[in-house]
């Protein structure tokens, strides 16, 4: 079965496309998580922000029939959810883990409730306009990887741009230096004149927008409708991808692709091996990530001040 996938070029590129599609929403959420945690705020609420983003995208597109409006409203809904985290974690100094979990639970409830009002129970049968795949001339004709990477929809191309942009922002600009300083040692950053909580606010809001974008992908590129709890745990996989990717946008991207690859693989392995319990395949992506965490790279070192609220007056 493995050999069949690897040898047949159409099957191989089909398999790789599935892997890519399964990882895109997780990539966006993981990028958001990297941004937030680099500034010193754990974002456990990625799952909830993604779900809010999906709902926002569906509502915006539903009322205007324009996916671009859905994209904006989706990112806005993600950002709005992030405001809650920012207020709780940065201003009020509540435990960031607890605040994040609360956001996830809150988001499941409020999106279900609102979707029943807005779509009056018909959310599962509608088909919203969205982004369809289009080939980039030239690049798409590269054998095997061409159709995988360059015959996708607009949001996938947006992801290709976002990853290097975020990398550049974090590691090559003075803003990025501020963000990382705030995440490593907020007191030193404060002494140097960086407005710690302002930076954290912006990063958490940006994080929400990115996670919301992941939700937009689910609705506008993948299934063209909103379904309750459609994020289905993708935000939690993103949390693992952040650690596996060492709080680096490129690393997080690779980690997500690894998940996507094994998720696609397990779907195919199952029906080739019906005698093996399916749970063995379902856990494959997670087993691989644990092995990668333990074996591939040394001890992870999170940003120094992540999880700690900053109070100027405290010592």
Partner 1 sequence: MSLSRRYFLSFAALAFVSVMLAPPAMADAFKVALVMPGNITDQSWNQAGYEGLMNAKKELGIEVAFSEKVAQPDQAEAMADYARRGYNVVIGHGGEFQEAANRVARKHPDTLFVVHNGTEPAKNIATLDFYYKQFGYLLGVIAGRMSKSGKVGFIGAQKIKFSTDLVAGYQEGFETVQPNGQVFIAWTNDWDDIAKGKEAALSQIAQGADVVFPTMDNAAIGSLQAAQEKGVWGFYLYYDSIVDWPDTVLQSAIMDIKAAMVDLLALAKEGKAEGKNYNMDVNSPKAARLGTYHSAIPADVKAEVEGLVAKMKSGELRP
Residues forming the site for partner 1 (CB under 8 A): 11, 14-15, 18, 21-22, 25, 87, 91-92, 94, 108, 112, 115-116, 121, 123-125, 197, 218, 222-225, 227-230, 232-233, 263-264, 267-268, 270-271, 274, 278-279, 282
Task: Identify the H or E element spanning 53.
Answer: helix 46-64
Per DSSP, what are the bridge partners of residue 222?
A: none
Sequence-separated (6 or more) residues with CB below 8 Å from residue 221: 24, 130, 131, 153, 154, 155, 156
Least distance CB 228 / partner 1 (angstroms)? 5
Tell me whether residue 171 or residue 286 sits nearer to partner 1 (CB atom): 286
Least distance CB 122 / partner 1 (angstroms)? 8
Least distance CB 282 / partner 1 (angstroms)? 4
Rounded Cα–Cα distance for residues 97 and 41 (Å): 9
Rounded Cα–Cα distance for residues 57 and 68 (Å): 9
Least distance CB 38 / partner 1 (angstroms)? 22
Tell me whether residue 230 or residue 256 sits nearer to partner 1 (CB atom): 230
Q: In which residue are the tokens 């969205």 written? A: 130
Tell me whether residue 184 or residue 228 sits nearer to partner 1 (CB atom): 228
Tell me whether residue 7 or residue 294 sits nearer to partner 1 (CB atom): 7
Helices 9-38 + 234-244 axis angle, to 10: 80
Least distance CB 162 / partner 1 (angstroms)? 20
Least distance CB 248 / partner 1 (angstroms)? 26
Tell me whether residue 248 or residue 270 sits nearer to partner 1 (CB atom): 270
- C-beta of residue 20 within 8 angstroms of C-beta of residue 148: yes
Least distance CB 109 / partner 1 (angstroms)? 9
Angle at 212 between CA 95 and CA 196, to 5 degrees: 45
Pair of tokens at residue 149? 């990477």
- Cα 308 from chain centre: 23
Tell me whether residue 49 or residue 170 sits nearer to partner 1 (CB atom): 49
Angle at 243 between CA 90 and CA 159, to 5 degrees: 85
Helices (H), 119-195: 145-150, 154-172, 174-184, 186-191
Q: In which residue are the tokens 């607009």 written? A: 154
Tell me whether residue 166 or residue 218 sits nearer to partner 1 (CB atom): 218
């Amino acid at each position: 079965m493995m050999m069949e996938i690897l040898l047949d070029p159409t099957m191989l590129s089909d398999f790789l496309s599935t892997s890519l599609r399964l990882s895109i929403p997780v990539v966006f959420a993981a990028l958001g998580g990297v941004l937030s945690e680099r500034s010193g705020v754990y974002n456990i609420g990625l799952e909830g922000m993604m779900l809010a983003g999906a709902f926002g995208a569906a509502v915006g597109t539903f009322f205007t029939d324009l996916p671009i409006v859905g994209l904006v409203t989706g990112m806005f809904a993600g950002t709005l959810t992030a405001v809650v985290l920012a207020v709780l974690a940065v201003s009020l100094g509540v435990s960031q883990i607890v605040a994040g979990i609360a956001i996830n639970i809150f988001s499941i409830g409020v999106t279900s409730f609102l979707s029943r009002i807005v779509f009056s129970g018909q959310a599962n049968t509608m088909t919203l306009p969205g982004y369809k795949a289009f080939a980039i001339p030239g690049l798409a004709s590269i054998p095997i990887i061409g159709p995988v990477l360059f015959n996708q929809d607009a949001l996938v191309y947006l992801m290709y741009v976002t990853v290097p942009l975020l990398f550049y922002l974090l590691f090559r600009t003075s803003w990025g230096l501020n963000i990382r300083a705030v995440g490593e040692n907020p007191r030193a950053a404060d002494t140097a004149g960086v407005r710690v909580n302002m930076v954290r606010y912006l990063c958490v809001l940006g994080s929400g927008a990115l996670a919301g974008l992941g939700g937009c992908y689910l609705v506008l590129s993948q299934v063209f409708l909103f379904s309750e709890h459609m994020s289905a745990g993708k935000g939690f996989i993103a949390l693992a991808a952040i650690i596996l990717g060492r709080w680096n946008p490129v690393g997080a991207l690779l980690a997500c692709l690894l998940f996507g690859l094994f998720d696609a693989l397990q779907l195919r392995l199952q029906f080739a091996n019906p005698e093996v319990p399916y749970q063995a395949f379902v856990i494959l992506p997670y087993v691989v990530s644990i092995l990668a965490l333990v074996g591939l790279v040394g001890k992870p070192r999170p940003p120094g001040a992540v999880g700690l609220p900053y109070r100027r007056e405290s010592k």
